[in-house]
């Protein structure tokens, strides 16, 4: 099959990185980082999104401008853009009202947690490595991992302690990509990321965009006539577009 053949691929988590222009933080200021990446700073100066040269994305949150980091989220190279975008787009929207629209009494608040979203989609609980608890996808190709016990916020944010939550895709022992979230991360964008991570809906890719190690794990089909073709991968180290991606249904902050 030619590498430029447009396909519908499922599940999303194994479809490949996709179009990084889906990752949006409208209204955030933009600058270059010393290592060749791109940095975006929220208007309230309490969140920074960084597109790293490796293709990974990270988000750092602060309690106030100039404070030490309170929390971090990192989407490793290879993470499908739709999953990263599910987190960043809703976070950017929530910061406009200091999260009030997505918390108790807010107009976008919805019940649910990452664990309940996954459970509703058939992900089963299993013991993880020592000190962790896992939820495993029905097909065994992904894990949502929760760290047990307490670690100081600053130790996690500085990378000196394992993250509170992780998403692992592919072979759980040797994942194709991973996303990590520390204690203190706003919970509603994490729920959105979990919805995308576990999404059963197909996404559009070119045949050559699907990682070779996932070819035996995904289901593909040709788009029907009239369907839009997948967009080609953007240039290296792309920046978020100025138009928000579609937003999944928000969820409440419940751990």
pTM of the model: 0.86
Let me know if residue 29 belongs to a domain. yes
Q: Name the residue range of residue 82's domain.
A: 6-221
Per-residue pLDDT of the chain (255 residues; tens, 9 = 90+): 889 999 999 999 999 999 999 998 999 999 999 888 999 999 999 999 999 978 899 999 999 998 989 999 999 999 999 999 999 999 999 999 889 899 888 898 888 899 999 999 999 999 999 999 999 999 999 999 999 987 777 777 777 788 999 999 998 889 999 999 999 999 999 999 999 999 989 999 999 999 999 999 999 999 886 555 554 433 333 344 433 333 333 333 334
Number of domains, the chain: 1
91, 189 Cβ separation under 8 angstroms: yes
**Residue 21: which of 85, 77, 83 has the closest Cα?**
85
Return the structure tokens found at 250: 């928000």
pLDDT confidence of residue 201: 93
**Residue 57: which of 253, 247, 238, 242 has the closest Cα?**
238
Quick check: helix, strand or coil at residue 213? helix
Let me know if residue 248 belongs to a domain. no
pLDDT confidence of residue 227: 56
Let me know if residue 103 belongs to a domain. yes
Give the list of residues 6+ apart from residue 187 with CB closer than 8 angstroms, or none.
Answer: 113, 251, 252, 253, 254, 255
**Residue 230: which of 80, 79, 49, 24 has the closest Cα?**
80
Instruction: Write the DSSP string, 41-87.
Output: E-TTSSEEEEE-TTS-EEEEEESSTTSPEEEEEEE-TT--HHHHHHH
**Any idea what the Cα angle at residue 73 is, between residues 67 and 151, rounded to 5°?**
75
Angstrom distance (rounded) from CA 4 to CA 39: 31
Angle, helices 81-95/187-197, rounded to nearest 10 degrees? 160
Let me know if residue 142 belongs to a domain. yes
Let me know if residue 243 belongs to a domain. no
Let me know if residue 231 belongs to a domain. no
Let me know if residue 236 belongs to a domain. no
Let me know if residue 203 belongs to a domain. yes
Q: Which residue has the tokens 């290296």?
A: 236
pLDDT confidence of residue 173: 86
């Amino acid at each position: 099959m030619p590498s430029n053949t447009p396909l519908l691929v499922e599940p999303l988590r194994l479809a490949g990185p996709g179009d990084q222009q889906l990752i949006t933080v409208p209204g955030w200021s933009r600058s270059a980082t010393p290592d060749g990446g791109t940095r975006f700073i929220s208007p309230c100066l309490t969140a920074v999104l960084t597109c790293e040269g490796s293709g990974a994305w990270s988000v750092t949150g602060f309690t106030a401008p100039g404070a030490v980091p309170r929390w971090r989220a990192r989407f490793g190279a290879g993470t499908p853009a739709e999953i990263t975008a599910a987190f960043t787009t809703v976070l950017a929207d929530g910061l406009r009202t200091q999260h009030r629209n997505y918390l108790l009494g807010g107009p976008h608040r919805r019940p649910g947690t990452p664990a309940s979203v996954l459970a509703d989609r058939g992900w089963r609980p299993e013991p993880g490595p020592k000190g962790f608890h896992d939820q495993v996808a029905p097909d065994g190709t992904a894990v949502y991992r929760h760290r047990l016990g307490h670690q100081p916020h600053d130790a996690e944010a500085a990378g000196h302690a394992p993250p509170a939550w992780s998403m692992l895709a592919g072979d759980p022992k040797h994942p194709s990509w991973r996303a990590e979230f520390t204690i203190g991360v706003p919970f509603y964008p994490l729920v959105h990321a979990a919805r995308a991570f576990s999404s059963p809906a197909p996404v559009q890719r070119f045949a050559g965009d699907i990682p070779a190690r996932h070819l035996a794990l995904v289901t593909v089909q040709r788009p029907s006539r009239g369907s839009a073709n997948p967009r080609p991968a953007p240039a290296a180290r792309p920046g978020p577009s100025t138009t928000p991606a579609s937003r999944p249904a928000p969820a409440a902050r419940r751990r």
